[in-house]
Amino acid sequence: MKTALSQFIRGGFAALLLAFIVTTMPAGAQQPSSVNPTAQSVKEDQLLRALKPGDQLTGRISIPDPKAASLIQPGRDWRSFNQETLPKLGTYAVLGMLLLLALFYMLRGKIRIDAGPSGQKILRFNSVERFAHWTTATSFIILAITGANITFGKTLLTPIMGPEAFAAWAQYAKYIHNYVGFAFMVGVLLVFLVWVKDNMPAMADLKWFAAGGGLLSKGHHPPAKRFNGGQKIVFWSVVIGGFLLSLSGWYLVFPYNTTLADVQWQATIHGVAAFVLIALMLAHAYIGSIGMEGAFDAMGSGEVDLNWAKEHHGLWVEEEMKKGTAHMHPAE
Amino acid sequence: MARMKFLCDADRCIECNACVTACKNEHEVPWGINRRRVVTINDGKPGERSVSMACMHCTDAPCASVCPVNCFYTTADAVVLHSKDLCIGCGYCFYACPFGAPQYPKTGNFGSRGKMDKCTYCAGGPEADNTAAELDKYGRNRLAEGKLPLCAEMCSTKALLAGDGDIIASIYKERVAKRGYGSGAWGWKVAYKETIAI
């Protein structure tokens, strides 16, 4: 009885309400007759579940900072990459390469000039080329140390230096890193411009690789032009790696107009490219100094021993001789 | 000790931005930095909701994890604070934060990040409580005075709740039970890895 009555009242009320709406609503207005907040309100849970990885919940904001309109970015991938994957990668890359080089040195020793020094010198890199090389090299070493400090300093240096002294050093390291980065960009650009013509891949490179670059066997030197296959790999790694580092570094210094997911990607690229390049540069520095007799002169004085040049870059020496452009003179 | 949390009841928030203004005023936050902000989701559509967001003082905070100089610490009340003396302004906490809480004054022409600034839950910093040095670097320390964060204290609709997590969760649950709906405890799942069943 009671329910029938209440049903009657409710039905009557609904009819009355409907009549009221119909009579008061101007024709054409499409307002919903009632808003159900339960059914229509946005729910955090649904929004979060609908997100794709790396996406963020975004809305509208009235303060003049459009980036602040991003409300929640749930992904924690970058954190685990930065805290676990990157340090692991860095350790394996650097220590692994050092171990390999030590092993190589023990097995092969210093690679000598087979024919011995000739006493005659030939110009291999002019002053512009050496300037490009050393601008890139010095800035890279500074950037590698100040950058690795961000990844490893907390674990390695804080226990020794104490938190205050380490923070002070890290602060200067950050400033140095941000400023020297621009010198590195200039260096990589110069390296690209002066050497790209000599670094085009060629068939001779395949033969060079097939012979292991002559690194493993004494007295055997696969012929090479100005740059052999290994050097071309170093060149393109520096150009491509340097470009990636410059671009991602630029984003990290000026993150104001990018989204959070973008910045996380840039930081990831920056870290991976940096450690890969550091490992490669360790090998490059080894073979260019203590690993090979006569190699350092190429970037030191710019002039190498003729016998060294004939053994390692025979085709290049022939070309220079043919063109008559070889700058040769007896060593002082 | 209490486990301090924020909870924004988006079904009550009217996007008046008074929490944003109160925070800026109370802590004399520099120009260009907003420790708290109000974001409107589905703006102009039926069922739009506004959420007041600041640092959520996460459990196992990602900012603290990625900081290269370990400048973050968690207080006994579970408030995540940082030392501006140690901070180097590298930006990593900002890259890792799910809520966009860390911000940096633009102090120079380039490489221009200064010391990071974020919501302190009105709990100051590592300096002694309510000293001039603390006020200058981090703003007012209301927690040391026995008061809750000002943003929540003065919220006109009591949408923004601050206090012990269990207590504000029970208040929210009661509200949801009474009115029959709730859009969720925004940010809780991400910050605390738990949410309030409604």
CATH number at residue B18: 3.30.70.20
Domain residue extents for chain A: 121-330
Of B34, B46, B190, the CB nearest to A40: B46
Close Cβ partners of A245 (under 8 Å, ≥ 6 residues apart): A184, A270, A273, A274, A277
Query: For position B128, what pLDDT does the model report?
Result: 95
Contacts of A252 in chain B (CB under 8 A): 91
Establish if B139 belongs to a structural domain: yes
Q: Which residue has tokens 């350790």?
A: A91
Structural fold of domain A121-330: Fumarate Reductase Cytochrome B subunit (1.20.950)
Query: For position B45, what pLDDT does the model report?
Result: 87
Say yes or no: A194 contacts chain B, CB-CB below 8 A: no
For chain B, the domain total comes to 1
Contacts of B82 in chain A (CB under 8 A): none
Q: pLDDT confidence of A194, banded at 50, 70, 90?
A: very high
What integer best gives the mean pLDDT of chain A? Answer: 86
Query: Which residues, numbered 30 to 49 in chain A, qualify as contacts with chain B under a Cβ-Cβ cut-off of 8 Å?
Result: 32, 35, 37-45, 47-48
Cα separation, A187 vs A131, in Å, equals 8
Establish if B198 belongs to a structural domain: no
Query: For position A27, what pLDDT does the model report?
Result: 47
* CA A51 remoteness from chain centre: 28
Establish if B13 belongs to a structural domain: yes
Query: For position B16, what pLDDT does the model report?
Result: 96
Q: Do A72 and B65 touch (CB under 8 A)?
A: no
Question: Of A37-41, A213-217, B31-35, which range is least confident?
Answer: A37-41
Of A72, A153, A255, the CB nearest to B98: A72
E strands in chain A: 57-58, 60-61, 70-72, 120-123, 303-305, 328-330
In angstroms, the separation between the Cα of residue B133 and the nearest Cα of chain A is 18
Query: For position A55, what pLDDT does the model report?
Result: 82
Nearest to A195, CA basis, from A283, A133, A121, A144: A133
Percentage of residues of chain B with pLDDT beyond 70: 96
Say yes or no: A151 contacts chain B, CB-CB below 8 A: yes
| pLDDT above 90 (res A39) | no
Q: Do A71 and B51 touch (CB under 8 A)?
A: yes
Question: Of A49-63, A96-110, B89-103, B105-119, which range is least confident?
Answer: B105-119
Establish if B175 belongs to a structural domain: yes
Establish if B89 belongs to a structural domain: yes
Of B53, B87, B183, the CB nearest to A43: B183
In angstroms, the separation between the Cα of residue B23 and the nearest Cα of chain A is 14
* CA A288 remoteness from chain centre: 24
Q: Do B88 and A70 touch (CB under 8 A)?
A: no
Query: For position A1, what pLDDT does the model report?
Result: 43
The residues facing A60 across adjacent strands are B40
User: Which range of residues forms the domain containing residue B77?
Assistant: 4-192
| pLDDT above 50 (res A218) | yes
Q: Other CB atoms closer than 10 Å to residue A17's CB: what's the count?
A: 12
Of A40, A60, A79, the CB nearest to B47: A40
> Any alpha helices (H) in A196-221, and if so which ranges?
203-210
More confident residue, A4 or B15: B15
Q: Do A60 and B40 touch (CB under 8 A)?
A: yes
What is the mean pLDDT of the segment spanning B106-125?
Answer: 83
Of B11, B68, B100, the CB nearest to A154: B68
Query: For position A2, what pLDDT does the model report?
Result: 47
Q: Which residue has tokens 């890969």?
A: A276
Establish if B129 belongs to a structural domain: yes
Q: pLDDT confidence of A28, banded at 50, 70, 90?
A: very low
Establish if B95 belongs to a structural domain: yes
| pLDDT above 70 (res A82) | yes
Cβ–Cβ under 8 Å, residues B88 and A174: yes
